[in-house]
Copies of this chain bind each other. A is one copy, B any other.
Amino acid sequence: MTTQAPSSSSSGAASPGQSMEPQARLDLYRTMVLCRTYEEAILREYHADKGPGFDIGKGLIPGEMHLSAGQEPVAAGVCAHLTADDAITAAHRPHHLAIAHGVDLRAMTAEIFGRVDGLGKGRGGHMHLFDPATHFSCSGIVAEGFPAALGQAFAFRRRKTDRVAVAVAGEGAANAGAFHEALNLAALWALPVVFVVEDNDWGISVPRDLSTAVDSNAVRATAYGIPGERVEDNDVDAVHEAARPMVARARAGEGPSLLEVHTLRLWGHFEGDAQGYRPDREKVHEDDPIPIYEKRLRDAGVLDDELVQQAAADATTKVEDAIEFAKASAVPDPSTATDYVFA
């Protein structure tokens, strides 16, 4: 069991992106743009027909909606190291991770619209996306998605592959018992798992310092004798660099790691959340990681106007295609409401 003191990277150090291939950084950018374009489209569709007023149960997309705008660096930076053979379990805020991991956009969107061509034929909804093709899953019960990743990792290793499982949850989730049990078990059995904590400073309305006794979840890696690192500045290059050795360690059969990223919840906890509790809600967009990264890549000569427009256009095409697909898919037949309880 490798024990390593938790470290923390910050933007003060030499930029982690400098050593990366321009193409790789372009890919990170494009992934983030695709995620954001998707969330903006879902936002639009979600609110399109909730009125008059706001009725959560109404509209083409009913129910709770947790969007991930601002957290794209985590998804892009981590998933760049994975293939569709690797697994991801996410929580109630799963879209960016699903997209970055390559879940089929059409099937995912159809699920969010509750249609028969959805990943779950309309049974699951946006907190319950299951894609066997990319081993993607998520759960609406905070932290309870972690243990499943252990089982996937266990199966991967049992089959003598070098596939890995990534378990993602928020900083709020890191105070739940399932987090502790999962990390201890993974460390004990040296399972190929990378645990990722998205610290967006909030668990709904509860700020991080009212939920978590320590400043960094990375120090909690010590409690399991595994490497832990916190990326402080929501920088996709830094996430990419921090995740690399963790994924490599898992692939090499050396066991799990814990990565925390200090990221940003740009919007409300869920749609409809007025965020009255949030002092920074007026100026939070100043920290939007996508324009910041765009500027950095322009400065580095990786991006120009054309590439930026192309990325936006590509993303829009894919996203609008998925939304059209979803809308064209049939709503499930009520006579099938009790199907799929048992195989």
Contact = CB atoms under 8 A, between A and B. Distances in A.
Given A177-B178, A178-B177, A181-B175, A211 B188 contact: yes
Nearest to A210: B188
A181 B177 contact: yes
Nearest to A174: B184
Nearest to A224: B213
22 contacts: A1-B213, A175-B180, A175-B181, A175-B184, A175-B185, A176-B180, A177-B177, A177-B178, A177-B179, A180-B181, A183-B213, A184-B212, A184-B213, A187-B213, A188-B211, A188-B213, A213-B225, A213-B226, A214-B223, A214-B225, A219-B222, A220-B222
Contacts of A220: 222-223
Contacts of A224: 213-214
Contacts of A185: 175
| 6 cross-chain pairs, A with B, having the tightest CB-CB distances, nearest first | A177-B177, A180-B180, A187-B213, A223-B223, A220-B223, A188-B213
A181 B180 CA distance: 9
A87 B305 CA distance: 68
Nearest to A183: B213
A243 to B, nearest CB: 21
Interface in A185-236: 185, 187-188, 210-214, 219-220, 222-226
A225 B209 CA distance: 13
Nearest to A213: B187
A224 B185 CA distance: 19
A114 to B, nearest CB: 33
Interface in A117-152: none
A176 B176 CA distance: 11
A5 to B, nearest CB: 10
A11 to B, nearest CB: 25
Contacts of A222: 214, 219-220, 222-223
Nearest to A187: B213
Interface in A1-36: 1
Contacts of A187: 213-214
Contacts of A177: 176-181
A224 B219 CA distance: 9
A188 B176 contact: no
A61 B1 CA distance: 45
B223 A219 contact: yes
A220 B213 CA distance: 13
Q: From A180, A213, A222, A223, name the one whose CB has the most chain B CB atoms within 10 angstroms.
A: A213
A179 B1 CA distance: 23
A196 to B, nearest CB: 17
Q: From A1, A175, A183, A214, name the one whose CB has the most chain B CB atoms within 10 angstroms.
A: A214
A45 to B, nearest CB: 38
Interface in A159-178: 175-178
A211 B212 CA distance: 25
A294 to B, nearest CB: 37
Contacts of A213: 1, 183-184, 187-188, 224-226
Contacts of A226: 213
A143 to B, nearest CB: 9
